[in-house]
Amino acid sequence: MNQEVAQTTSRAGSGRFRWRYLRVLAFFTPVALGVIGWDILLRAVGLGRIARRTAQARYRRIARRYRRMATRLGGVWIKVGQFLSTRVDMLPEEITSELSGLQDEVSPEPAMAMRRVIEAEFGAPVDRIFDAFEDSPLASASLGQVHRARVGEERVVVKVQRPDIHELLEEDLAALRVVVGWLKHYPPVARRADLDALVAEFSRTLWAEVDYIAEAENARRFGKMFESDAGVRVPSVVASHSTRRVLTLEDVYAIKITDYAAIDAAGVRRAEVAERLFRTYLRQIFQEGFFHADPHPGNLFVDPNGDSGWRLVFVDFGMVGHVSERMRQGLRDMVIGVGVRDMDRLARSYEELGVLLPGADMRRLREAESAVFDRFWGKSMQELTSIDHRELHDMAHEFRDLVFELPFQLPADLIFLGRCVAILSGICTGLHPDFNVFEGLAPFAKDLLADEGGDWLKMAFQWLEREGRRMAGLPARIDAALTGLESGKLRVQASPTPELEEQLDHVRRGLHRLAAAVIFASLMLTGAILYGRADERLSVAAWAGALVALGFMLIR
């Protein structure tokens, strides 16, 4: 499979699907010319107001045309559209909202074509492989389709790749690389994303989706992950009837998660479904570091007939996400920051996750966070969507410098997590309009804090190491400042303004807090080391001194 990925990064479009390559370029060429004319040339000659006034209608029209093209072509382009719908950090809202409803559903392949794929994989007629096989597909997607069947007495579903899907993907990815090459010359997009890394990640994920051996292993891993959770069901793999292009699984299809009437009729509370779905994903992301990355309505079901009540059902494990330990820590800090309204921790999470562009104004960012928390924290999704647009406009005007700069980027390893969370948010809100993400995050954030508290000594050492690195840089900075004063390159204002006085006072307070913090940490660690090894009275004295230093730090 790595060889196939390498091929897609080096070859140009060719072969029987060349018409697709040309069709895509025919779509994007006028789009690129329009961007050059409206967004670059008009602004360059001082007519940017005209471009801004027509931007919303133009962007919406482009997104609608793209949606029609993606629905007609299927393949890569539906996946690209779904991906673009999550890129609120670099695309206008008119485009992302129009593409957000793009579903991975296309016209089904003829039954005989799918039977030929199965027979080529197993070297025998379909009727000899399965005891029963339904020609009418249960679901049809851009890369494959699903048929119901039977193995012995067991009801199964058979996922079959579309014929020639590998050649089709190569053509589509070749066209995608050409379009991305154009985007590299458009700074508003290029500066917010590593486009080459995005294409590489996107290609890797697509090739993984057509490797059903890997998908079978993902399904097994999810099954083991939730084997002790009676509220979640994952289908088992029928290994004897699975290959790289055909995957046979236990039939667990039940009530579609967006069939609200059927869920209500089954006596299942939709609010509980939203809460369980949200909680399940928190576990996948923050505890397991491995998550189902394609939670659209066709892959989630509600089974009302579980042994211990209703169950949440997952299917289709072709698209999964992995969360590194560093990313997980950044996400934990983000959840804790939102859950307990800790702006400093939230800002730190941005740095850990690498979502800030160089030179971002952290002070201004904290001010914006504080305003957002004061106005929106604790509201349900329904309340958030009903906020007067004039209020949002006023806030956008207040922080227009941040809105203009948009100092955010989304690294490649966070792309599919961002897409997953966006889809998940829509599903939870649809199930329960009063779904409140803050209520769901707050107890989880407190649990994460409690887990951190259980290893306080390790955290203290990490904190000391971090603060030590900051202090180690102070002498060099002071020396540079003094050198600048001596050489005349650094100028000092003789009559300090109130703003300068406030900044100097802030620096003084910061130095006092830093000194108190170092004393506090040192005495706390001394007490921990002396406890049980020497005179415990010395240990208590050290801890008492640490508390005094802590009090001084908080007061200052």
| Catalytic center residues | 294
The rounded distance, in Å, linking the Cα atoms of 522 and 516 is 10
- Report yes or no: 188 and 218 within 8 Å, Cβ to Cβ: no
CA 292 vs CA 35, 258, 288, 335: distances in Å: 36, 18, 11, 19
Q: Can you name the residues that pair with 157 across neighbouring β-strands?
A: 148, 249
Q: Is 175 exposed, middle or buried (0-12, 13-18, 19+ CB in 10 A)?
A: buried
What is the C-alpha separation between 525 and 189, in angstroms, rounded? 48
Phi-psi region at 435: left, alpha or beta (left = phi > 0; alpha = psi -120 to 50) = beta
Amino acid (1-letter code) at residue 103: Q
Q: What angle do CA 370, 376, 378 make, to 5 degrees?
A: 110
Which residues neighbour 44 within 8 Å (Cβ) at sequence distance 6 or greater?
Answer: none
- SS3 call for 381: helix
H-assigned helices in 74-131: 76-84, 93-99, 111-122, 126-129
Pairwise CA distance, residues 104 & 109, whole Å: 14
Question: Do 318 and 276 touch, CB atoms closer than 8 A?
Answer: no
Q: Which amino acid makes up residue 131? A: D
Integer Cα distance of 156 and 165 in angstroms: 23
> 106-111 long-range contacts, Cβ below 8 Å, gap at least 24?
106/71, 106/74, 106/78, 106/140, 106/141, 106/142, 107/74, 107/140, 108/137, 108/140, 108/145, 109/140, 109/145, 109/162, 109/163, 111/135, 111/136, 111/137
* CA distance linking residue 229 with residue 187, whole number of Å: 48
**Judging by beta carbons within 10 Å of its beta carbon (0-12, 13-18, 19+), is residue 117 exposed, middle or buried?**
buried
Point out which residues pair with 250 in neighbouring strands: 156
C-alpha distances (whole Å) from 171 to each of 204, 331, 353 are: 15, 36, 33
